[in-house]
């Protein structure tokens, strides 16, 4: 699946902008995370449609502990990387997505 948050560079290289590493990938190269690869000058995610974990946590456990103390976060993880999402913004859409995934897995 074509990745988001990247930009093409001269010579078929790409620059990934998903995290602070800002990996510069040559054709066939993988990023630090190991889940994004340059295929023919286009960045492709190997795990874009794979959710391996989902969990609610207190914000104090996250690197953004100083932001809205006492609130909750919803962590969605895939192989080797995690994206932290504010629970109050995405609780209901994420719940629907998790139910959809569980239905596909037969759980």
What are 46-82's pLDDT values in tens digits?
887 777 778 888 888 877 667 778 888 888 777 655 4
| Mean pLDDT for the stretch of residues 27-55 | 88
Looking at residue 20, what is its pLDDT?
A: 81
Which DSSP letter does residue 60 get? G
Taking the C-alpha atoms of residue 75 and residue 48, their distance in angstroms, rounded to an integer, is 15
Please list the alpha-helical segments (H only) found in the chain. 87-105
| Mean pLDDT for the stretch of residues 36-49 | 90
- Cα–Cα distances (Å) from 36 to 59, 74, 80, 89, in that order, read 28, 23, 11, 27
Regarding pTM above 0.75, the answer is no
Local confidence band at 13 (pLDDT 50, 70, 90 cut-offs): very high
Q: Is 96 helix (H, G, I), strand (E, B) or coil?
A: helix
């Amino acid at each position: 699946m074509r990745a988001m948050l990247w930009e093409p560079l001269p010579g078929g290289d790409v620059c990934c902008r998903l995290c602070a590493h800002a990996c510069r990938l040559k054709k066939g190269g993988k990023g630090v995370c190991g889940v994004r690869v340059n295929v023919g000058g286009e960045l492709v995610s190997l795990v874009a449609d794979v959710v391996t974990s989902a969990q609610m946590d207190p914000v104090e456990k996250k690197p953004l502990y100083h932001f809205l103390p006492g609130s909750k976060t919803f962590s969605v993880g895939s192989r080797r990387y995690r994206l932290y999402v504010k629970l109050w913004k995405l609780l209901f859409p994420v719940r629907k997505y998790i139910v959809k995934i569980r239905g596909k897995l037969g759980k």
